[in-house]
Chains A and B, each alone.
Chain A
Amino acid sequence: QVQLKETGPDLVQLTQTLSITCTVSGFSLTTYNVHWVRQPPGKGLEWMGAMWNGGGTDYNSAFKSRLSISRDTSKSQVFLKMNSLQTDDTAKYFCARQAYYGYYFDYWGQGVMVTVSS
């Protein structure tokens, strides 16, 4: 069955770099697009960026040049890297699969809660 699982740190220091891995199973990264979405505590959802099935990427301009998404198809993994972390980057970070029928997210990982500490 389709599964996505994020792994990453619970705590990151201010101005440091966040690295999260999304390991998928039940589908191929060369067939489906995978996105990153985050959610600050008690708040709404924010789309961060995408890894396209063809290997390209797209980013929310709100993250300017801080964000980088890459993948290793042999390991079925998608990577998120974001630098210069601030306290308002404290959030739960999700990876999600895009449905084949539109720009919707039909499967999500359980998320990883990251706290940025000063």
Chain B
Amino acid sequence: DIQMTQSPASLSASLGETVSIECLASEGISNDLAWYQQKSGKSPQLLIYAASRLQDGVPSRFSGSGSGTRYSLKISGMQPEDEADYFCQQSYKYPPTFGGGTKLELK
């Protein structure tokens, strides 16, 4: 199975700060990567797919980039409602696998 390693495991950001979360795949995944946001006690919500495509309804402060084995999620201007756990997921090879998650808190 492809291993997805996320970093950092947790971080805190001030209001308006730009935040980046990284995801490293154990092999190349050809941009077949998604990012999800999960608020406390809720189900995950798809933010980004195909590494950089914004899901309908997701604020434009969220963006994704990367290639090969390295991918990142950027939040340009932290908002209170962005406090959540974030997960990456590869869809390049069966079975789909997720990163361990990043807990983002508002400082």
Contact = CB atoms under 8 A, between A and B. Distances in A.
Contact of B89 (A60, A104, A109, A110): A104
Interface string A42-66: 0111110000000000101100000
B99 A44 contact: yes
A102 B32 contact: yes
Q: Label chain A's interface by main secondary structure.
A: loop
Contacts of B94: 58
Interface of A: 43-47, 58, 60-61, 94, 96, 99, 101-106, 108-111
Q: Which 6 A-B pairs have the closest CB atoms?
A: A103-B91, A108-B43, A45-B98, A104-B34, A104-B49, A44-B100
Interface of B: 32, 34, 36, 42-46, 49-50, 55, 87, 89, 91, 94-101
Contacts of A99: 46, 49
A111 B46 CA distance: 16
Given A45-B89, A47-B96, A104-B34, 19 more contacts: A43-B100, A44-B87, A44-B98, A44-B99, A44-B100, A44-B101, A61-B95, A94-B44, A96-B43, A99-B46, A101-B50, A103-B96, A104-B89, A104-B91, A105-B34, A105-B36, A105-B44, A105-B89, A106-B46
23 contacts: A43-B101, A44-B100, A45-B36, A45-B44, A45-B98, A47-B97, A60-B95, A94-B44, A96-B43, A101-B49, A101-B50, A102-B49, A102-B50, A103-B32, A104-B34, A104-B49, A104-B89, A105-B34, A105-B44, A106-B46, A106-B55, A108-B44, A110-B42
